[in-house]
Structure 1
Amino acid sequence: MTYIVTDNCIKCKYMDCIEVCPVDCFYEGDNMLVIHPDECIDCGVCEPECPAEAIKPDTEPGLDQWLKLNADYAEKWPNITAKKEPPADAKEFDGIENKLELYFSPEPGTGD
């Protein structure tokens, strides 16, 4: 099992989870974060820290697409170990459906 970041992180990109991760397995995209599934130690401390409830265990049904997205982009995006401010309009995007199709950016973030 691993934890993965899902749809609701897109354009919310809260970073509370980064501060509690003991293995620094988060990677930063332009408008979301991902978890490297091979680095995650399944401790689960990140899940309750996400205000958008975007972090889920990969054992939940229907998350295969998100496991693949996390694995793929963790190889392309920079590692991030320090919390930054979320986007100014993050609350406006929290809970919007179909964000992958509407807003996902494959561009990397800036990392640390």
Structure 2
Amino acid sequence: MTLVITSACIDVKDGICTTSCPVDCIYEGERMYYIHPTECIECGMCESICPVDAIRYADEVVEENEIPFIALNDTAFRDEDGALTEPGGWKKGDAPVKDPQDLASLAQKNDEVV
């Protein structure tokens, strides 16, 4: 089960998680970071270092308002045809991954829940 980044990362983008990832599978987006679902080796290093506690194993995401972030992390790496892209690892200075359209509505819903 892969790791996913949840709503606590929206507009925070601390980025310390990227320094601990041995396979560079955490990509910077426009408003948050995303974990590539097949590049992740599930080591858990990012989860242990995240300062806002935004990273979880997908099977541990149980809060209703956080569950959509499992799909969101996957969607961030899909092309227009729905095929999963394989970027090959992120490095500082790369252009941000385009945030999925659903992020704006998920962010708003999370703001309303808080």
Query: Which of the five TM-score ranges fits, normalised by the shorter chain?
Result: 0.5 to 0.7
Call closer, same or farther: CA 1:39–1:56 in 2, change over 3 Å. Answer: same
Q: Which residue of 2 aligns with 1:101?
A: 108
1:47 matches 2:47: yes
Q: Secondary structure at the match of 1:46?
A: helix
Q: Check the 8 A contact 1:17/1:47 in 2, yes or no.
A: yes
1:74 matches 2:84: no
Provide the C-alpha distance between the structure 1 equivalents of 2:77 and 2:13, rounded to a whole number of angstroms. 15
- Relative to the length of structure 2, the TM-score reads 0.66
Measured after TM superposition, the shift of residue 66 of structure 1 is 1.1
Identity %: 39
Provide the C-alpha distance between the structure 2 equivalents of 1:74 and 1:52, rounded to a whole number of angstroms. 23
Q: Secondary structure at the match of 1:71?
A: helix
Q: Which residue of 1 aligns with 2:30?
A: 30
Q: Check the 8 A contact 1:25/1:35 in 2, yes or no.
A: yes
Provide the C-alpha distance between the structure 1 equivalents of 2:4 and 2:19, rounded to a whole number of angstroms. 16
Provide the C-alpha distance between the structure 2 equivalents of 1:32 and 1:50, rounded to a whole number of angstroms. 13
Measured after TM superposition, the shift of residue 37 of structure 1 is 1.1
Call closer, same or farther: CA 1:81–1:75 in 2, change over 3 Å. Answer: farther
Structure of greater relative contact order (alpha carbons < 8 Å, 6+ residues apart) = 1
Q: Which runs of 5+ in 2 are unaligned?
A: 80-86, 94-104
Q: Check the 8 A contact 1:26/1:81 in 2, yes or no.
A: no
CA RMSD after TM alignment: 2.7
- Relative to the length of structure 1, the TM-score reads 0.67
Q: Which runs of 5+ in 1 are unaligned?
A: 84-97, 104-112
> 4+ residue runs of structure 1 moved beyond 4 angstroms?
none
Measured after TM superposition, the shift of residue 6 of structure 1 is 0.3
